[in-house]
Structure formats: structure tokens, C-alpha cells
Amino acid sequence: MASYRDHRVIIVSLFLPNTVALATDSTELSYFPDQDTVPTPLLSQSTITRTPTSPLLSIVEDLTVKSKTPTPSGTPHGELNPFASHFHSLGSALSSLRARESTPLSKPPLPIHYKRDAPARHSVRKASRSASLRRRQKGSESPTSTWHFEPNPQGNVGLYNAIASVSGGSMVRRKLWVGALGTATDAFDSKVREQVDVKSRDENNSIPVWIDDNEFSGFYDTFCHQVLWPCLHYAIPDAPKTNVFFESSSYAQYEACNQKFADAIIQNYQEGDIVWVNDYHLMLVPALVRAALPSAIIGFFLHVSFPSSEIFRCLAVREQLLKGLLGADLIGFQTANFARHFRQTVSRILSLEAVPKGVTTREGKFVDVGVFPMGIDVNTLTKKRKDPEVTEWVNLLRTRYAGMKLLVGRDKLDEAQGVRKKLQAFEEFLKMYPEFLGQVVLIQVALSTTEENETQGGVADIVARINSRYSNLTYQPIVFLHTQDLTFSQYLALLTVADAFIVTSLREGMALRTHEFVECQETRMRPLILSEFTGSYSYAGFRSCIAVNPWDSINTARAIHLALNMTEDEATSRWKDLHRHVTTQTAQTFVTTFLTRCTRVNLQHQQRDPSSIPVFDVDAIVPAYRHSAERLILLDLEDTLWVRERPEHSFEPPNDTVKILQKLCADKKNKVWLLSGLPRAAMDKLMPLVPDIGLVAENGCFIKPRAIRGKMQEWINMVVNYNMTWKTPCLEMLAYFTERTPGSFTVTREASIVWYFWTQAVIQNHTDRGWVKRQAAEAQNHIWDSLGERYGLRIIPGENSFIVLPNNISRSTAVGAILRPGGPAESIPTMWFSPAETGPSTEVDLLFCLGGDEKLMSRLNEVDNAETVTTSGKESDAKWRLAVSDVIPTLWKFAGL
């Protein structure tokens, strides 16, 4: 199978990693990532320099130079709390709420020296999200031709870092970015645009997508952030936003911008490229690209949460968005819950069959749905933590806050991030545990956002209230910072000295800032307080955090108390579990697993059409059959040698099947194996009639070796170490669906369960068949979500039934065990089978496989001297095809040789 390393990857994101700055610009962009991660060395850092005689400067003193406006407070602030008077980003908001003048600093700030060529940075609050993307709007003013690239702080920083972590080596050898610049472009003349296009391609492997400013504003400001963002985060806006939410005319601009992205991809596509589309801004792109490039490898990954169908169905353009996503080969989500919500939404809104692995479209195409937890680049972060500047800030913070507990948080001020809930819980903590007054400080770092969102987040009033009530000359309980006021080194220092880190999101995907905290706590190992509504909490490794319901301020306050008073042994134990997940689910793992899966599923989707597979030619195989000294013959029973007329009928070996098996087994060169999904009791009926045959029952759960010197062998239980307690709750779920599906019934076997949901003749346009198949898909989803991961199960969907059985067990693994030296094809082993070690052997001269298991066909094609023949009538990798009615006559031709 081809590796993704052999392909160029086209990474499609709303914003490119680098943007364009004109020579006339003198203001740096504020840091405002959509992805929840802090700037890395990829982004520009502060340009502070210190002379050998200058004392180490505090964060406050660093910021004071930028703004002389101190944060309003009820009481003066002393030197022991250096942060207290320097958080000007919140100053204007607090001033509007509290009409009082600020008390000046008791002492002037220490001097600070900046590089002379460094432009001054300004903390500018944005009026809208698009304003955060637009550096300037000067109307008719035309830019000069002098410009340069600089890192783009507006985009998906987590994605940028993940791609950077695998670039330049053997993982991602070639890549091409497609995205917008993130700056106003209407004033760019054709000459500048041409220059940007050329240099972007040559220097940054990037293709800019040019979008008119007004069109971009409607697309990004209105539809993405007033329609999609609330919906995906479980928020249905009330009036007056209801009209925007349900009947947004900006969808036309959303559609037009998605088309421009698709056009850029199509224009630059090369055969074999992997097209990786990212996030909710571009949900229509997969289908648009698929229409022009039917065989392209297309993956889509959603970096935010996906809501339940009851929320998503409120969107007026719900069907268009879902159909747009279904153009991909693979759709990835952060957690299993998000993936389940998507499958259920597609099933209920589009009436498509959705199973745990994916969705089948009306055209018959199967779209895989997978879970890919995002992570951080641990190695890069570790190197940055060792920077001397970080060490300096760590020492400073420990000196300034000696004897105090530091509670640190970092969030956007959007309502969904739950900062208001966090502050309310902290206020409750100070009320419940007054002994901590003057002993604990909450340092809240806020990501830049819009004034509207800050107002909705409603944090300014609470900060003012808490600080007014509990501050004194030497103490202020809440320190509020914006990320543009904080360098990355200072941020890492905060994470290092924190006594606890708190996240109280009301809805969020992977909270990568928690990963950074865990990594920065390598020496101290302090606890993490984490909302149950984050994607991170759904993973077992993060269950060692202190989980909180952000809506419950009292219990959140108790969690803060628990974290600050936790013993070293307990904190260390919890940290080790968290660290194990962080170092396992890294940014590199995220990228490589997604691209590998994307490549693999596309190859599966590109399997040859049944009509293009040549009909089995016996004469072409006869020479190899005659001259082979040892042959391994693998035959499927159901729907190959034997066709069950009705599913409720029990197995009685047909005479024609028994006779051809007896004839094949009589040839000493042949080792014949019969593969089946039937239970052992049914398969045992064949053994007295054909004693020299090997049997596989229940789709690989049991193997019965061929007789040795006329002596029957015992069944080998391949699932002896599996927990079978899942069967009881599984039967209860199926009983529920059986009551609601006329004619359906359940068959319980030793290691598997089969649910037959259709027992009539297969008529695709039957009135009830579509409804019954959706019932079957719903049943599979319920079983998978409740029991699948917990017990390690797999579900095999069929035309009229599905089978539930233990994972890592299949006909393919059974054949792998048979092929291994010392396996049941030769003798009775003691310990010869391991699901992870079933590599095929090529000791036989001819391996002949006839059946309908397409995964087995694909695997056996990798074996030399293998001839694979499919009877499924579906798309297949098999070398030959054969109608079921021709199976027995064809086998008799071999038996007569």
C-alpha cells in the first residue's frame, strides 16, 4: 500500500501561516488564533533587551511602557503585587462599569530598554472578528510595491505547529498551503498580487486565495461566527440574531468563498495529491473538489466540537453543509462523541445509513468517519522551556509571589469558554475559604477577541466586583492579561510556577493549553482542573484531572480548594497519567495517523468496479495448480458454497457442497479450509463428512485444525482471553430495536451476536426497507457508542443483518494465524497466535482464495503465488470475479485435474 509520504499534501486552511505586511505598516497584528494554542517560535516574540546592569523586569513593568493606564481597582496596589496596575487591556471595560479614577502606582516602574528598530506594539480591541483580520482600511489609498511576509497570528496555530513538526523530514516531504492572507486586500493592485502569488509559492509553499473584503466580512464575520460558531458550540442565538441564524443571506458569501478555495485547489492539483481541508469555515469544499476531481484523496478535519442533531438541525442550510462534507474520503473529529453526533445527524437529516465506521451516501460511496485527537509538539515545547529567558521569568515570579498560591487560566472571552463561570467559582472559593484571602491569586490570560464577545462573556463586571471587595494595599485576587500583553516566554513561566491550571469551558474541542500546562509541570507536577465539557476530558488519560461542571460554581470552588491542598503523592500520580497522554497523542501522531488513514480509505474507495474485474479463467490457473507441490485453498461457506434461502433456517450441509469438499480434500497436495460465520455446532456437522478439512467458525473466533493421521482435532478458542460480558447489554439493546422492527430477530452465538433486520426478498425501493436500514444503523451506533470502545468490539454490517463480535478477530486474522509457521495448518501449537503478529507466510506453492470477504482479498494479494476470486459482486481488490452460481462447477474443474 502506498504511504502518504509518497504524496504531496495540500493543506487547506482559512488563513495561511504567513501574511503580507506592507512597508507602510507600523503596527503588529494582535495574536488571535482560532485554534486553542499559544504562539510558538513560529510567531514573532517580544523584542525586549536588557543590559547587564539592568534588573530583571516584571511582566507588569514590561507592559507599563506600552500603556500608562492602570486597571481600575477599589484600593491602591502595593509593590508586592506587581501585576495589579498594568492590565490595561481590561482597563477601558472596567472604567465604563466603574466611574472612578485609578490610584496610581506607589512606585514608578523600573526602566526598560527596547530594541530601537522594534516597532511599538499597541493593544487594540477589535470591533468585530473581521476587524481583527484587517490591518487597515484606507479606501482609495494604494499600497506601495514594497512588502514582506510575516507570521500570520490570525489562523489555526495548532495546525501550523502540527504540520511544522512533521515537515522537513521523512514524514511530510512535500506540502502546499492554500488559504487567505488574513489582511485587507482590496487595495492591492495587480502588480502586488502577482508578486505575492509568486513569492508565496516559491518561499512559503503557499497559494493565496484572493477574496474581496466585503465578501470576506459576510463570509467570516456573519456566517462563520454568528451562524456556524454558535451552532457548533450548542448555542442557538435568541432574537434579534434569530433571523441571522435561521435565514442568513451571508450563506451565499460563504458558498462563494468556499468555491474560491475549491478553484484554487483544483487549479494547483497534481495527480496523487492529498487534499486536507480544515475546519468549519470550509465545509463545502470537499464536495466542490470531488465534483472536479473524482479520484482525488480528500480528507476533512473539524477542529471544533460538533453538536447533537437536535442543535444542528436548526440550521436552514443543514443539508448543504452535510452534503459538502460527504465529498471527502475521510471526515475527522477530535472525539468519539463529536463523531457520533455527526453520524446521527447525517442519518436523521439526510436519511443515510450511518454505521460506526462511517456513512454510505445515496450514490453508494462509503465515507469514513474517524477520531483523531490533536496534540502538541512536545519536543519543540521542551526546547523552548529550557530557554534562559523562561528561567528568568520563572525566578522572578517565584520571588514576587513567594508564599502565595497561583491559579492560572487561559481562554478566549467568548461565552463558550466559560471565563465568567470560572470567575464566579473563584469568587465562591474566596467566600467558602476565607483563610485563602491574601494567599491565592488567579492569573487569567485572555485571548484577543471582539468587544461584542467580551461583553457577552461578561467578565469585566465580575473582575471589578471581586477585586473591589477583596483587594488591599498588598493584594489583588485577580490579575487579568491579554495575550498581546504577554510574551511566549512569560506564558511558559506562568505555566511552570502555577499551583493549578483551570479550564471551565462550556463547550470545547481539545483544550491544548492543558497539554502545555502538563508538559511545563515536569518538575512540580501540580494538578489540572478541567471542565467535563471539553474534548480532552473524554480521553482516559485526562480522567486524572479534577473534573468540574462549570455550571456548578460551588463544586468548582471545592475543586480549586482540592487542587491547592493536594498532597505531592496524589498530584504526582495524577500528573503521570496526564503526561502519558500528552506524550503519546502528540501533534506528530495527529498528522501522521490522519494522513495514513486518509490515504488508505481512498485506496479502498478506488477499488475496481465489479464489471472491470476479469471473470475467473480456470485455464489461466491450471498450469500453476498442476505443478504446485502444496496448495492452500480457502473457501467461504455462506454466499459462496452455500446460499441460505431464509436467515432463520439452520445449516444442513448441502450434498453438492459436501461432495466437492470431499473431492478437493482427497488430493494430498491440498490443504482445504472452510471459512464461515456460523457457530461451532453448525460447522461440526461437516467434520464427520469431510474429516480432512480445516474449519473457521464465527468469523475467526474459533479454529478447528485439519485431522492429523485420521484423528479429529479440538477447536481452538481465539477469544479465550476476551471479556464476554458485553453480550447481555448488547442483547438488551437489540431487544429494544427488535420490538420496533417487524420481522427482525436476534441470533446469539458463543462469541458473537447477529441481528437480522430484514427477512423478506431484497427489494431496494421497498417502502419499508429504507426505514429498516436506518433502524439498523441506529442500532449499530447505540451498540458501538455504549459498548464498542469499552469492551473492544467490532461490527460487521451486511445487506440484511449485522454481526457484533470482539475486535481484532476476523477471517483475515484467522487466515494469518493459519499461514504462520507452526500454526494450525501444520499442527496443534501451544502458543502460536497473536493478533498483532499474523504476517503471511509464502511456504505454499499456490494460495487460492474464493469468497466474499474483501479485506481478506486485499491482504492475500500481498502474498506471492496467491489467486483471489471474489463472489461478492461488489467493488473489490480481488484478481478475479465469479458468480455464486458458477462456484461449484468451477471447483469441479480443479478437482478433476
pLDDT in tens, 508-529: 989 999 999 999 999 999 999 9
User: Cis omega before residue 119 (within 30°)?
Assistant: no
Task: Return mean pLDDT, the chain.
Answer: 81
Report CA dihedral (855, 859, 865, 868) to the nearest 10 degrees. Answer: 10
pLDDT score, position 855: 83
Cβ-based neighbours of 814, under 8 Å, separated by 6 or more: 675, 696, 699, 700, 703, 718
**Residues 695, 679: Cα–Cα separation, whole Å:** 11
If you average pLDDT over residues 635-657, what whole number do you get?
83
In this prediction, residue 709 carries a pLDDT of: 76
* 310-319, 542-551, 818-827: range with lowest mean pLDDT: 818-827
CA end-to-end span of the chain: 35
Q: How crowded is residue 271: how many other Cβ atoms within 10 Å of its Cβ? A: 9
The pLDDT score that the predictor gives to residue 348 is 83
Backbone phi, psi, residue 704, to 5°: -115, 110
Task: Give the pLDDT mean for 65-77.
Answer: 34
Residue appearing with cell numbers 480445516: 694
DSSP state of 136: -
Is residue 436 exposed (0-12), middle (13-18) or buried (19+ Cβ within 10 Å)? middle
Write phi, then psi, for 82 (nearest 5 degrees).
-65, -20
pLDDT value of residue 110: 31
Hey, is 561 helix, strand or coil?
A: helix
Least confident of 213-222, 555-564, 726-735, 831-840: 831-840
CA 229 from centre of chain: 18
The string of pLDDT tens digits covering residues 322-340 is 999 999 999 999 999 999 9
Per-residue pLDDT, averaged over 258-273, amounts to 96
Work out whether strand 694-697 and strand 670-675 pair parallel, antiparallel, or are unpaired: parallel
634 — pLDDT class (breaks 50, 70, 90): very high
How far is residue 614's CA from residue 869's CA, in Å, rounded to a whole number?
10
Check residues 858 and 59 and name the one with the higher pLDDT: 858
Question: What is the biggest distance separating any 2 CA atoms in the chain, rounded to whole angstroms?
Answer: 105
Q: pLDDT class for 861, splitting at 50, 70, 90?
A: confident
Higher confidence at residue 731 or residue 135?
Answer: 731
Find residue 21's DSSP bridge partners.
148
The pLDDT of residue 708 is: 81
Of 895, 888, 869, 882, residue with least CA distance to 634: 869
pLDDT on residue 247: 57
- The answer, yes or no, to whether residue 729 has pLDDT greater than 90, is yes
Percentage of residues in the chain with pLDDT exceeding 90?
A: 54
Answer whether residue 352 shows pLDDT above 70: yes
For residue 140, pLDDT beyond 70: no
Does the CA dihedral 171-175-179-184 come out positive or negative? positive
* Other beta carbons less than 10 A from residue 584's beta carbon: 13
**Residue 469 CB contacts under 8 Å (≥ 6 apart), including other chains:** 74
Q: Write out the three cell numbers for 741.
A: 422492527
- Determine the pLDDT at residue 203: 92
State the Cα–Cα distance between residues 357 and 338, nearest whole angstrom: 13
Can you tell me the distance from the alpha carbon of 277 to that of 255, in angstroms, rounded to the nearest whole number?
15
- The better pLDDT of the pair 188, 246 is held by 188
Residue 23 pLDDT class (50, 70, 90 cuts)? low
Residue 863 in this model has a pLDDT that exceeds 90 = no
Q: What is the mean pLDDT of residues 277-294?
A: 97
- 479 has pLDDT over 70: yes
pTM score, two decimals? Answer: 0.72
Residue 301 near residue 334, CB atoms below 8 Å: no
Q: Which residue did the predictor score with more confidence, 70 or 540?
A: 540
Flag whether pLDDT at 120 surpasses 70.
no
Question: What is the helix, strand, coil percentage profile of the chain, to 5?
Answer: 40, 20, 40
Instruction: Output the pLDDT for position 453.
Output: 57
Q: Side-chain half-sphere of 740: how many Cα atoms within 13 Å?
A: 13
Give me the DSSP letters along 820-849: STTSTTTS--SS---TT-------SSEEEE
- The Cα–Cα gap between 301 and 641 comes to 43
Query: Which amino acid type is present at position 837?
Result: E
Neighbours of 123 (CB within 10 A): 18
**pLDDT (mean) for 349-362:** 84
SS3 339: helix
- In this prediction, residue 774 carries a pLDDT of 81
Using DSSP's 3-state secondary structure scheme, residue 703 falls into: strand
Q: Residues 155-208: pLDDT tens digits?
A: 888 999 999 998 876 688 899 999 999 888 998 888 999 999 999 999 999 999
| Per-residue confidence (pLDDT) for residue 712, from 0 to 100 | 85
Whether residue 660 contacts residue 892, with contact meaning beta carbons closer than 8 Å, is answered with: yes
Confidence band (pLDDT; 50, 70, 90) for 730? Answer: very high
Asked if residue 68 has pLDDT above 70, the reply is no
Average pLDDT over residues 64-80: 34
Torsion of CA 808, 814, 820, 822, to 10 degrees: 110
pLDDT of residue 243: 58
- Average pLDDT estimate for 706-718: 86
Instruction: Examine the pLDDT at 764 and tell me if it is beyond 80.
Output: no
How far is it, in rounded angstroms, from Cα 491 to Cα 360?
46
Nearest in space to 611 (alpha carbons), one of 860, 883, 360: 883
Q: Looking at the predicted structure, is the pLDDT value of residue 249 above 80?
A: no
What's the pLDDT at 4? 78
pLDDT of residue 74: 34
Residue range 14-23: average pLDDT? 88
Instruction: Report the C-alpha gap between 690 and 661 in whole angstroms.
Output: 7
Tell me which residue of 366, 355, 363, 309 sits closest to 774, measured CA to CA: 355
**The pLDDT of residue 3 is above 80:** no
Task: Answer yes or no: is pLDDT of 673 > 60.
Answer: yes
Cα 445–chain centre separation: 26
Higher pLDDT, 787 or 76: 787
pLDDT given at position 84: 35
Q: What percent of the chain has pLDDT over 70?
A: 79
C-alpha 103/C-alpha 85 separation (Å) is: 9
pLDDT reported for residue 398: 94
Distance CA 523, CA 512 (A): 20
- Which residue in the block uniquely carries the three cell numbers 496524589? 570
Contact 298, 327 (CB under 8 A): yes
Identify which of 359-373, 456-470, 540-554 has the greatest average pLDDT: 540-554
pLDDT exceeds cutoff 70 at 836: no
What band does 829 get if pLDDT is binned at 50, 70 and 90?
very low
Sheet containing strand 866-870, edge to edge, reads 716-717, 702-704, 694-697, 670-675, 631-636, 846-851, 866-870, 880-881
Instruction: Kindly tell me if the per-residue pLDDT of 118 is higher than 70.
Output: no
- For residue 785, what is the DSSP state? I
Under a CB-based contact definition with an 8 Å cutoff, are residues 796 and 692 in contact?
A: no
pLDDT above 90 (res 45) = no
Band the pLDDT of 354: cuts 50, 70, 90: confident
Pairwise CA distance, residues 636 & 669, whole Å = 20
599 pLDDT tier (thresholds 50, 70, 90): very high
| Segment among 77-86, 480-489, 576-585, 785-794 with least mean pLDDT | 77-86
